[in-house]
Structure 1
Amino acid sequence: MAIARSPTSRRLPVTKVALAGAGVAAAGAGVWLLRVFDPNAPGNPFPPCLFYATTGWHCPGCGMTRCLHALVHGDLGQALAMNPLMLVAILAAPLLVAWRMGWRPRVLQPLARWMSTATFWLGLIALYGIARNLPWAPFSWLAPG
């Protein structure tokens, strides 16, 4: 005899709902800040890149705030000029989240299995950080600006 599941067994834990709500609120606040304030203008509330200020080199995250500002304002070309890796990460994130939640279409399995590892992303970020500081094309195109 099979035991029927009660409706309460399918509910999400309160902590997951609270974390999801906090994430949505934080994302909304970030979008609002990026809509209202221009990170390119003097006196904006966004902190500068400490790595760039200290070393003069572009870190993998340099230009990320300006990239997101351009995306919020619908300027895809400017966003791509500021931080191309950020656009790749934004496009890949929903697919990787869906992959982790169990959606696994056969056509994406080789790529998603490879991209869902921390080793892939750490290696990519390290290589990107080095490549965007090289002074010749096409690597110089990766620097924000």
Structure 2
Amino acid sequence: MDERRLLSLRLRLALAGISLVGAMLLFTAWRLSPDPRGYGTHEQLGLAPCAFYAWTGWKCPSCGMTTAWAHAMHGDLPAALHANAGGTLLCGLVVLATVWAAASAGMGTWFVIRPSPRWLLGIGSAGLMITILDWVRRLAAG
């Protein structure tokens, strides 16, 4: 193995922490029951209803994200996409990132790819764009 590719103990621990946080988020989503309204699942965690919706009567861009995660973790991708496409994409990215971070931490070298700021910015920008476009779709649908 090329010594220059070995990850420091500090970075390996950070990656292990990232994978643990991702696993906890995914486990929490798996334990939730998707709200039949298509939003509001986060209220099962003791969180308040969406203030934007309460004030305007319109769903905010993140309305339905927790519901999308719950549907996705139960294997119902069509319902997840209907609830919030951006949330569904984010859930999928967290699944991939959790596995990637755990594998990289365990192997002590980057698993498959080495992350770059350009890739991360591109993925984040695409996710934001999908979330906004999906929000416009949901607003138009009523």
TM-score under structure 2 normalisation?
A: 0.58
**Does the 8 A contact of 2:42 with 2:67 survive in 1?**
no
**21, 24, 30: which one pairs with 2:25?**
30
Distance change >3 Å, CA 129–CA 75, structure 1 → 2: closer
The one-letter code of the counterpart of 2:26 is V
In terms of Rg, which structure is larger? 1
**What is the rounded CA distance, in whole Å, between the counterparts of 1:17 and 1:78 in structure 2?**
36
Q: Which moved more, 1:120-129 or 1:63-72?
A: 120-129
Residue identity over aligned pairs, in percent, reads 24
Q: What stretches of structure 1 of length at least 5 have no aligned partner?
A: 1-5, 103-112, 135-139
The answer for the alignment partner of 1:137 in structure 2 is: none
The answer for the alignment partner of 1:132 in structure 2 is: 138
* Higher share in helix: 2
The answer for the alignment partner of 1:45 in structure 2 is: 45
Cα deviation 1:31-90 (Å, max 9, x = unaligned)? 222222325279611523332233221222211111110111111221122112333455
RMSD: 3.8
The answer for the alignment partner of 2:73 in structure 1 is: 72
**Does the 8 A contact of 2:86 with 2:127 survive in 1?**
no
Q: What stretches of structure 2 of length at least 5 have no aligned partner?
A: 36-40, 101-111
TM-score under structure 1 normalisation?
A: 0.57
Number of aligned residue pairs: 118
**Does the 8 A contact of 1:39 with 1:46 survive in 2?**
no
